[in-house]
A and B are shown apart, each in its own frame.
Chain A
Amino acid sequence: MFNSGLIALRELKERISTRSFILMSIMGPLVILLITYMLFAYGGDGKQRWRVLIADPAGIMENKIMANEDNAVAYSFADDYLEMEEFRDGKRFQEFDALVEINEKVLSNKTVFVFYRDKPAVRMQTRIQFQIERRIEERMVDQFTDLTVPEFRKIKQPLNVAFRNANDPMDESSDKRGWVGFFFGTLIFTFIFLFGMTILRSVAHEKSNRIVEVLLASVNPRQLMLGKIMGIGVAAFIQFVIWCFVIGFGLYFMREFLFIDALDASKMDMVQMTKDVQEQTSFDQLFAAREYNEFVELIYERVQFSTMITYFLLFFIAGYFFYGALFAAIGATSGSENDGQQFVLPLIFLLCLALYAGYFTLLNPDSSTVDWLQYLPFTAPVVVMVKLAQGYAPGEGYQLYLSLIILVISAVIMLFIAGRLYKNGILQFGHRIRLTTLFKWLKKS
Chain B
Amino acid sequence: MPKKVLVVEDSAAMRSLISSTVEELSGYETVEAGNGFEALKALPAHRFDLIITDINMPDINGLEIVNFVKNNSAYKNIPMIIVTTEQGDEDRKKGLALGAAEYITKPFDPEKLKTIVKKITHG
Q: Do A and B come from one complex?
A: no
Interface residues of B (CB under 8 A from A): none
Interface residues of A (CB under 8 A from B): none
